Amino acid sequence: MAVVDVHRFAESITCHAWSPDLSMVALCPNNNEVHIYKSSQEQDQWERLHVLEKVLFISEKMVIAVGYDSNPMVFAADDTGIWSFIRYIGEKKPESSGASYSSQFSEAFTKFYGQSKATTANEASESSKSREGVHDNCINAIVSLSKAGSPKVMRFSTSGLDGKIAIWDLENMEEELGHQF
């Protein structure tokens, strides 16, 4: 038996799984993260799509994952047990492409290192604002706010490197999330 192809993703990989069509691979690079890559057939290269750090089951067939993306992501299992990405929650709207490279770099640099100012009472009370782009940086925690023993998680909170804690309510999203919810 001959090796058909070899791809190097990390120094060490503790486990991996392929999408059914073999266009994506999810792997654990031995650091408590899940990295998801997508194949670029034309260039024979792999693009990293997501780095996930935490997962919360909201039902038997649905999870919300958080990580380096600034938005929680919903994944669901079909009747055969195959898991698929469904959608982002609170996805940021794309900004205009008119910004220069230097201003984009400055914005990214500021987000990466966080803000140095103290949070005021007005900033901490942003619950009435739209959930569009709540977090400005990596989300590193997700916590269920449902009562113990509840079959579904209807509310959860996230916190991130931007210093914010957001409370999310799934009550009005059941139809959007589908029958798995």
- Looking at residue 8, its pLDDT comes to 82
β 24-28/45-59 pair status:
unpaired
Tokens encoding 156:
């959860």
- Looking at residue 64, its pLDDT comes to 92
* Confidence label for 181 from pLDDT (cuts 50, 70 and 90): low
* Radius of gyration (C-alpha) of the chain in whole angstroms: 19
Per-residue 3-state assignment (H helix, E strand, C coil) for the chain: CCCCCCCCCCCCCCEEEECCCCCEEEEECCCCCEEEEEEECCCCEEEEEEEEEEEEEEECCEEEEEECCCCCEEEEECCCCCEEEEEECCCCCCCCCCCCHHHHHHHHHHHHHCCCCCCCHHHHCCCCCCCCCCCCCCEEEEEECCCCCCCCCCEEEEEECCCCEEEEECHHHHHHHCCCC
Dump pLDDT digits (tens) for 68-100: 888 999 988 888 877 888 888 877 544 544 444
Dump pLDDT digits (tens) for 14-65: 888 888 788 888 888 888 788 888 887 776 788 888 888 889 988 888 899 9
Contact 71, 87 (CB under 8 A): no
Dump pLDDT digits (tens) for 102-131: 444 445 444 444 443 344 434 444 433 433
Residue boundaries of the structural domains of the chain: 15-92+130-177
CA distance 63 to 21: 22
- Higher pLDDT pick, 1 / 128: 1
Contact 143, 165 (CB under 8 A): no
Say yes or no to pLDDT of 158 above 90: yes
Tokens encoding 132:
């569009």
